[in-house]
Amino acid sequence: MLSYPCPTVLELIDLRRRFGDTVALDGVSFEVPEGHIVGFVGRNGAGKTTAMRIALGVLQADEGTVRWRGAAVDTATRRRFGYMPEERGLYPKMRVVEQLVYLARLRGTPKEAARARAEELLTTLDVVGDPNARVESLSLGNQQRVQLAAALVHRPELLVLDEPFSGLDPVGVDVLSAVLRRAATEQGAAVVFSSHQLDLVERLCDEVVLIDHGRVAAHGTIRELRASRARNLWRVEVRGADDGWWQVVPGAVAVESGDGVVMLELNDGVDPQRVLDVARSGGDVVGFGPVQPSLGELFREVVA
């Protein structure tokens, strides 16, 4: 079990769910601390959406428990949650501001505060178009921004977002990333989002939960995930050295090489300084350093 400096607010405990003969969740458990952004990643059909819907009460688990601040989640608690489904759910004929105000009031926000927050979010999210226009008149990208505003307008304590970055342009991705970070750091919201954009998850998230075939395959910070699957890899770029110059270093194995660049995996006990000394004796060293696997590489290793 991970130890957090911030209090745990959301707990998914041994969730199990079947759809006929298909096992969607097979004992999924993880925790989300207050003010943290947690990336929920996995292949299509791994169980991400099912787990998120159970956390929100949209689906019921066959077994297992969802707890919020140590207590069972009831209807009143869920009013403090915000949800952005992968299948967008706005009312197309309703006007943008009216829809946001309506959704905020359903969750207990006073009318004036709801309107103020709606207008503020439309500006913050850079929604292009008339706030009094019907949702269906907006571009798909702007409809998506309005959908996010709908999840945020009541200032939820928990944000659950299913593929929120899908279809956004790079500017939209940057805007949404900043909004999620502020929700976590300034408002203390716990944020869980799924995404196939692993570089974005790596950059934005405090922690990552990797799910595969309905089970949590890995959970931790990027640093912890790297450490759990550590390979002692070093990238060396040398000009003028003979091919295979590293072979004189016992325990140094080339993973790949070409055009003067070699990726070496060092066995335990091999001093990287020894590799650097040999490289210098053979030519001009223009690059030398450890290789940290990306989240994408860790993902492929876990689900392989």
Token digits of residue 185: 């750091």
Please list, in sequence order, all residues whose beta carbon lies within 8 angstroms of the beta carbon of residue 266, skipping any fewer than 6 positions away: 232, 233, 234, 251, 252, 253, 272, 275
**What's the predicted TM-score (pTM) here?**
0.81
SS3 state of residue 144? helix
Distance CA 264, CA 170 (A): 35
- Residue 261, strand partner residues: 237, 258
For the structural domain made of 229-293+298-302, what CATH number should be given?
3.30.70
What pLDDT does 255 receive? 87
For the chain, which residues make up each domain, given as ranges?
A: 8-227, 229-293+298-302
What pLDDT does 5 receive? 65
Strands (E), 230-302: 233-239, 252-258, 261-266, 284-290
Please report, for residues 86, 161, 195, the alpha-carbon distance to residue 166 in angstroms, rounded to integers and kept in the order given: 9, 11, 8
Please classify residue 169 by burial: count the beta carbons closer than 10 Å to its beta carbon, then call 0-12 exposed, 13-18 middle and 19+ buried: exposed
Per-residue pLDDT tens digits of the chain, which is 304 residues long:
444 467 999 999 999 999 999 999 999 999 999 999 999 999 999 999 999 999 999 999 999 999 999 999 998 999 999 999 887 778 999 999 999 999 999 999 999 999 999 999 999 998 888 889 999 999 888 898 999 999 999 999 999 999 999 878 898 899 999 999 999 999 999 999 999 999 999 999 999 999 999 999 999 998 888 887 778 889 999 998 888 999 999 999 998 888 889 999 999 899 999 999 999 999 999 999 988 888 888 888 887 6
Cβ contact 302:210 at 8 Å = yes
What pLDDT does 166 receive? 85
* CATH superfamily for domain 8-227: P-loop containing nucleotide triphosphate hydrolases (3.40.50.300)
Residues in the chain: 304
- Residue 26, strand partner residues: 16
